[in-house]
Amino acid sequence: MKRSYPLSKVYGLLEAGLVVLVSTALKGRNNIMTMSWHTMIDFNPPLVGCVISDRNYTFDIIEKTKQCVINIPTLEIAKKAVACGNVSGAKEDKFAKFGLTPAKASRVKAPLIKECYASLECDLADARMAGEYNLFIFKVVKAWVDTGVKNPKTLHHRGGEAFMVAGKTINIKSKMA
């Protein structure tokens, strides 16, 4: 039986997308931001819409460098991934603080995060919605995946301190791409 539900809590219903780590670099200093508000926008080349608050240090770095890497963490580094969202990179080096390892990317200056099973090098494709909605559209220009990870235990934010861990994968006949 469905009941009326406060609009202020709606985000916890819908935002159960992947928790990802956005890595950036500015003048040789690396940074990491935790993000769960993003969506695919097109298949190939892959376009990804990302909501990055203008209160985040990463917002400024992306406006300046027009690049980032979207890294996908799994349960093994869940605490580190979430912790990256709890401090500002303007003051601290989060790679050092949380024991994460930057690795050289091939197409962008932002670093890959070695401990994530997938890393997507991105160029900023459209910042016209950044002012009004904090929405940046990125084009993935190079992708790296540990294909040995068959059923990644990805993290999905349910709001507040609740994170859903990816369960089993089922197959359903689908014409979805």
Residues 82-101 close enough to bind a second copy by CB under 8 A:
82, 85-86
Q: Closest Cα partner for 49 from 139, 118, 131?
A: 139
Binding residue for a second copy (CB under 8 A) from 27, 104, 131, 167?
A: 167
Tell me: does residue 144 bind a second copy (CB under 8 A).
Answer: yes
To a second copy, the closest distance from the beta carbon of 27 in angstroms equals 26
In contact, 22 and 32? CB cutoff 8 Å: yes
28/147 with CB nearer a second copy: 147
82: which 2 tokens? Answer: 């979430």
Binding residue for a second copy (CB under 8 A) from 28, 55, 91, 176?
A: 176
Identify which range of 23-31, 32-40, 57-65, 94-102 contacts a second copy by CB under 8 A: 32-40
Neighbours of 24 (CB within 10 A): 25
Q: Closest Cα partner for 19 from 101, 64, 74, 90?
A: 74
Bridge-based pairing state of the strands 118-126 and 112-113:
unpaired
Identify which range of 24-32, 44-52, 61-69, 93-101 contacts a second copy by CB under 8 A: 44-52
